[in-house]
Amino acid sequence: MSYTLPPLPYAFDALEPYIDAKTMEIHHDKHHAAYVTNLNKALEAQPDLAKLPVEELLAKINTVPEAIRTAVRNNGGGHMNHSMFWKIMKKDGGKEPTGELASAISSAFGSFADFKTKLNDAATKRFGSGWAWLLFRDGKLVIESTANQDNPIMDGGKAFFGLDVWEHAYYLKYQNRRPEYLEAWWNTINWQQVAENFANAKK
């Protein structure tokens, strides 16, 4: 078995004006595609590992043979992270979560506005390339950030909402203005999908 690039669940221009079509095209068709290709290449001689769902593969990253571990970490992480990222955005997204997810966010962070500020802060302070996450760690809802394509699953966290702050996610439209990209990005969120991810991560 090999890993495959999931189709983008909407048109390239669906997230305009917040995220431009060209960025989405390059991000999905080039960057994500390359992670998948390079993950498959790294695992060519490891059919037993290559048949694992990517989240299982990454949960045991420390047991992957050392010669390919970095390649699997970076490209497997890239594949898993982006597969989630596309789905938590949609055309006409935004607003706020509802139901159980909304209550969980409020009790963990004070309010939705406080949560937003804290996630933005984690994303802004991440130096260079990486991600900011909302996740369960030891049964608690927390915000963390990771470098590169690392995913919290690599050290036992269960992330269900992630924000890509690699320059490739925003540079064409926002150049060095990461905070402007972050502000815009909240208008794309598919809270229904995030709520579904939340329910699965909570199990």
State the minimum distance, in angstroms, from the CB of residue 85 to Mn ion. 7
What distances in angstroms separate CA 112 from CA 64, 85, 96, one per listed residue?
39, 20, 8
Task: CB nearer to Mn ion: give 109 or 185.
Answer: 185
CB of 129 to Mn ion, least distance (A): 8
Cα dist from 19 to 48, 107, 147, 202, whole Å: 38, 31, 22, 30
At 40, phi and psi to the nearest 5? -60, -40
Q: Which is nearer to Mn ion, 105 or 154 (CB)?
A: 154
**In the complex, least distance from residue 31 CB atom to Mn ion, rounded to whole angstroms:** 5
Which residues of the shown chain bind Mn ion in the complex (CB under 5 A)? 164, 166, 169
Interior/surface letters 172-188, b for 16+ CB within 10 angstroms, e for the rest:
bbbeeebeebbebbbeb
Residue 186 CB, nearest approach to Mn ion (Å) = 17
The nearer residue to Mn ion, 150 or 164, going by C-beta atoms, is 164
Rounded to a whole number of angstroms, the minimum distance from the CB of residue 149 to Mn ion is: 8
Q: Which residue number places its CB atom closest to Mn ion?
A: 164
- Over its C-alpha atoms, the chain yields an Rg (Å, rounded) of 16
Distance of alpha carbon 129 from alpha carbon 147, whole angstroms: 6
Closer residue to Mn ion in complex, CB, 99/179? 179
Task: Between 32 and 109, name the residue whose CB sits nearer to Mn ion.
Answer: 32
| Angle (deg, nearest 10), helices 191-202 and 99-109 | 70
